[in-house]
Amino acid sequence: MTFGISRKLTLMIGVAVTLSILAMSLQLYSLHKILWKDRQDLIATQVESTMSMLAHFAAQADAGAMTLDEAQTRAKEAARAIRYGDGDYVFMYDPQGIRVMHPDTEREGTNAWEATDANGKLHIREMIQTAQAGGGFTDYHVARLSGGDPQPKLSYSALFQPWDWTVGAGLYVDDLNADFMAELQRSGIWSALLLAALIACAVPLSRSISRPIKTLTAMMGRLAQGQTDLPAPGATRRDEIGAMARAVETFRAATIDRDRLSAEAEAVNARQAAMVEETSRRATQLQQFVAAISTGFDTLSRGDLTVRITQDVAPEFEAIKRQFNDSLGQLDEALGTVVEGVGIIRAGLAEISAAAHDLAHRTEQQAANLEETVAALTEVSRGVDESAEGASSAQTSAETAQHNAQGGGEIVQKAVSAVGEIEESTQKIGTIVTVIDEIAFQTNLLALNAGIEAARAGEAGRGFAVVAHEVRALAHKSAEAAHQIKDLIGTSNLHVREGADLVRASGTSLVTIVEEVSAVRTIITMIASRTREQSQSLRSLSAGADQMDKVTQQNAAMVEQTTAAARALEEQTDQLAGKARQFRTSPQKSMAGVPASHHAAVERAVAAGW
């Protein structure tokens, strides 16, 4: 329900009156409690004074100043004389309800245990029970001693324990109720006068507020209908109504301006309609472009780098489309380059593994050949030692050569055979040295290839490049040692050939041996000396062959290290391939920039799953 301003003002006044009445009621209630409390305090004070007096007489009796009966009699006489209020008095009862003391002496000694008031209440019994419970108040209705109708009375009772008496005092409260009703009547009159004054003020005030507002409301209704010819009434007032009237007048002026601007707005609306249509078209283009971009990014989030925006877009979005496609193209190309690098690395690793395997096989062969060479050199050294011993024997026997020409001829034949064997052994050693030289050349070539592949592998092949460099150094040393051995063998061959020629010359000149014994002894001495030199050279050659055997063993260990490094690099390459598998790139870019020699290896790597 909606209330008008006048009703709201009336309601406000009614609420104020209600609150005033409520406050007055609370004040009257507090007044009633205060009056009642004053009466309670008065009778309680009388009972306490009487009990103090009884305590005095009880103390006299206990002290022996008087007997108990005398003390009780004097106490009752003193209490009977007590008066307060409007002829009110003090009374006493024993536990059985017998009146011990009463202003009317004729009532003393009577039993009031069953006595009732005008409403049938056993008020004497209740007062005795209240006193025995610790003391308290009892209300009832009885007539005054002077007679008349029963009136409301309030009594206070307490127990005097030394004599087991209930001491009480009371007050009639009919005058209290009369005073309260008089006060209530006065308050009601004042409330009625206040209400009348409020109504008398509220009605004109309500009309002075509601009537101008109704007028302004009607004015605003006419303005809503387009009637702007009449000014707003009350605009000259200085209160809130005047402010409202001025606001309505401002609204009227605004309405006039609105009508003037309405025509202009219609022209603007036409232009706005065109702008809205253009904005809608641009919004549609933007929505299509955003959908295309969103689709592209969604495909890109799944790792597909081949996605491109192919549909036509608005000219203002063409640059963004081109940048998106170019960025993905560069990313596709970069990842393709990574894929190419992985393929090349895997191809290089395959070649390195094959080369390492071949190198290991050849190293094993080289070790076997070196063992044979060492054995052959041992045999040759033994033969040379025997030749040296034979030369010494020939030197010793030269003195008897004249007498043992036939024996000398046989010795010459043996020498010729021994020299032939030495020449054959020397030729075999030359062949073995040639094989060692070829092995060193092949090892150097393999180390060179391994260094090239390690350089292609970049940072991952740096360790393998160091190993390849060491292998090349060892191969170079092996080649130098082989060349030195070859030179020594060449010198030995020359000496052997010279020795063979000399032995043959001695064979053909056997008839002149006797005459040339001294010359033969000289030649034999030379042969013995050179044979010792040849033996020393063969020992050096044997030591070099043994050193080459050790180098070959080291080469085998390095080959194993190279193979392990290649496996580690291959594992890292597989990890890189696993990362690259998460992306999809253009197939035609996976082979771009890869050398033709590695195409097959890259194709095998791609087929392997990355």
pLDDT per residue over 255-306, tens digit each? 777 777 776 767 767 777 777 777 777 778 777 777 877 887 788 777 777 8
Residue 139 falls inside a structural domain: yes
**Structural domain containing residue 518:** 340-607
Residue 470 falls inside a structural domain: yes
Residue 309 falls inside a structural domain: no
Q: Is 78 exposed, middle or buried (0-12, 13-18, 19+ CB in 10 A)?
A: middle
Residue 509 falls inside a structural domain: yes
The candidate with the shortest Cα–Cα distance to 208, out of 239, 246, 243, is 239
Angle at 37 between CA 35 and CA 42, to 5 degrees: 100
Instruction: Determine the pLDDT at residue 103.
Output: 87
Domain boundary among 154, 173, 197: 197
CATH of the domain at 350: 1.10.287
Domain boundary among 177, 197, 217: 197
Instruction: Determine the pLDDT at residue 407.
Output: 65
| 3-state class (DSSP) for residue 94 | coil
Cα R_g (the chain), whole angstroms: 73
Instruction: Determine the pLDDT at residue 474.
Output: 76
Return the number of other C-beta atoms located less than 10 Å from residue 345's C-beta: 26
Instruction: Determine the pLDDT at residue 70.
Output: 94
For the chain, what is the mean pLDDT?
A: 75
Q: How many helices (H) and strands (E) does the chain have?
A: 10, 5
pTM: 0.33
Q: Is 310 exposed, middle or buried (0-12, 13-18, 19+ CB in 10 A)?
A: exposed
Measured over all CA atoms, what is the biggest interatomic distance in the chain, rounded to whole angstroms?
209
CATH of the domain at 105: 3.30.450.20
Instruction: Determine the pLDDT at residue 530.
Output: 73
Instruction: Determine the pLDDT at residue 28.
Output: 66
Instruction: Determine the pLDDT at residue 99.
Output: 93
Residue 216 falls inside a structural domain: no
Q: Under a CB-based contact definition with an 8 Å cutoff, are residues 441 and 515 in contact?
A: no
Domain boundary among 197, 230, 248: 197
Sign of the dihedral defined by the CA atoms of residues 170, 171, 172, 173, in that order: negative
Residues of the chain where predicted confidence (pLDDT) is lower than 50: 590-594, 602, 606, 609-610
The amino acid occupying position 121 is K
Instruction: Determine the pLDDT at residue 7.
Output: 67
Residue 320 falls inside a structural domain: no
Domains contained in the chain, number: 2
| 3-state class (DSSP) for residue 126 | helix
pLDDT per residue over 528-566, tens digit each? 677 777 777 767 766 766 776 676 677 667 767 777 776
Residue 206 falls inside a structural domain: no
Q: What is the DSSP letter of 510?
A: G
Residue 274 falls inside a structural domain: no
Q: Which tokens hold the place of 601?
A: 């290896």
How many C-alpha atoms does 300 have within 13 Å on its Cβ side?
16
